[in-house]
Amino acid sequence: MSDTPRKPGFETQMIHAGGMPDPSTGARSTPIYQTTAYVFDDVDHAASLFNLQTYGYIYSRLTNPTVSVLEERIATLEGARGAICCASGHAAQMLAFFGFMEPGAEFVASKKLYGGSITQFGLTFKKFGWNAIFVDPEDPENFRKAITPNCKAVFCESLSNPGGVITDLEPVAKIAHEAGVPFIVDNTMASPYLCRPIEWGADLVVHSTTKFLSGHGNAMGGAVVDSGKFDWGQNDKFKSMTEPEPAYHGLRFYETFGDLAYTVAGHAIGLRDLGATMAPLNAFLTITGIETLSLRMERHVKNAQTVAEYLEAHPAVSWVSYAGLPSSPYHHLAKKYLPKGAGSVFTFGLKGGFDAGVRLVESVDLLSHLANVGDTRSLIIHPASTTHRQLDEAQQIAAGAGPDVVRLSIGLETVDDIIADIEKGLSAASTR
Ligand SMILES: *Cc1c(COP(=O)(O)O)cnc(C)c1O
């Protein structure tokens, strides 16, 4: 018998990390702390909380015990130092950049991103004076070529929504680090069960927990996950982490909190001032969802693989972009970065183009026509007429959402039922 404590496995961490029986009641599942504020012991206790000298709860815009359990659970599953949970995936992206961006600063991002992220980065972030430079992630060197002295981060999705594109994380991480900036990876489509970006060099990971982490299509949420490994003091690019913070009596976050600095600042400044807080009920639902993450992901991947193979052989289908298929140009990257499977969200092309896409989504019954992914239910959408309609056709094609493209998020139903429903829809789509 060895004395080294066992490191718990991923499935054990899904169920236990960050949680413990409630100390006052013994409640085994994490209670929903539906409270706005927390009583101080006395004035000195209050002062030390406000000065960030003691950990504790003040006001639920900043921290809440139910949300804290979720933060520790997600951080553990990603192999990270800390996490900041917030209202949505988009809130997570805003908070992630807010931690170190300034007006006039730039970051380099893959152009194969979720359509909403392209709009958020390319249009809305401009109002903060943050400039996103989009590059084709196909060749990691494209990221290097776009980095300027004013660049403060590099961003991509591990497995992109919707195109099934996989970015070669390891060389992109190296390029970011050579430029002295953090590498941020959106790991929403993979979940930490399928891909662990920090092991490949990511410094920060963002999630829309709305998708596979909560997993049941019933709770909005986001998370910014910090590896704790990035050196914010290596150059003078990250002043909000290294210079005195006027709102906290001149405290320097990086000097004071070290590898927890980004996480502490994310709550003490990011959530405090942007206010994009996660509701405790949504944290509870997400904690419950994560308890079955591995079981759900295994079935999601198995069903998706079966449906992708069926579609690839179908005469009405011109192509299928699923990294689990040997025909995918990303198959070798999937084997490296997502060895347990390439997720369950993918796209395929209809020979009948835009009109066939519209007829297909209107002819299915079991599959729900809606704008979400990562539900237990199978979902279908025609991006060009919905999620990506704000983009022009060139941007749509660049994002893998051209007029003939249909996106599926394969759920956990009996796979023969999913295929029968798609078959019915495809025959309706090919008869005028
Ligand atoms: C859905 C999604 C987002 C945005 O998350 P919300 O929770 O909808 O705000 C960001 N990135 C990816 C990859 C997504 O799928």
In the chain, what are the domains? 10-290 (3.40.640.10), 294-429 (3.90.1150.10)
Host H or E run for residue 304 = helix 293-312
- Between the CA of 208 and the centroid of ligand 1 the distance, in Å, is 5
Give the per-residue pLDDT at 432: 55
Residue 186 Cβ inside 6 Å of ligand 1? The answer reads yes
What is the predicted pLDDT for the residue at 336? 98
| Ligand 1 pocket mutation, candidates 85, 161, 379, 409, criterion most atoms within 8 A of CB | 161
Read off the tokens for 221: 């949420």
Cα separation, 116 vs 285, whole angstroms? 24
Residues 6+ apart with CB under 8 A from 175: 140, 141, 143, 144, 147, 154
**Are the CB atoms for 164 and 190 separated by under 8 Å?**
no
The pLDDT of residue 1: 53
Q: Which amino acid is at 30?
A: T
Q: Pick from 378, 358, 356: which is nearest to 368 by CA?
A: 378
Instruction: Give the model confidence (pLDDT) of 33-62 as tens digits.
Output: 999 999 999 999 999 999 999 989 999 999
Q: Provide the token pair at 220.
A: 């909005």
Q: Does residue 112 line the site of ligand 1, with CB under 6 A? A: no
Q: Specify the residue with its C-alpha closest to ligand 1, atom 1.
A: 208
> Which residues are CB-neighbours of 159 under 8 A, at least 6 positions away?
165, 166, 189, 190, 194, 195, 323, 337, 338, 342, 343, 345
How far apart CA 103 and CA 405 sit, in angstroms, is 37
Cβ pair 268, 285 in contact under 8 A: no
**CA R_g for the chain:** 22
| Mode of pairing for the β-strands spanning 151-157 and 131-135 | unpaired
> Which SS3 state, helix, strand or coil, does residue 81 take?
coil
Low-confidence ranges of the chain (pLDDT < 50): none
Burial of 419 (0-12, 13-18, 19+ CB in 10 A): middle
Predicted pLDDT at 283: 98
Tell me the sheet residues that pair with 166. Answer: 159
- Mutate which of 74, 90, 156, 184 for ligand 1 pocket (most atoms within 8 A of beta carbon): 90
Token pair for 120: 């958020």
Q: Residue 184 in contact with residue 203, Cβ under 8 Å?
A: yes
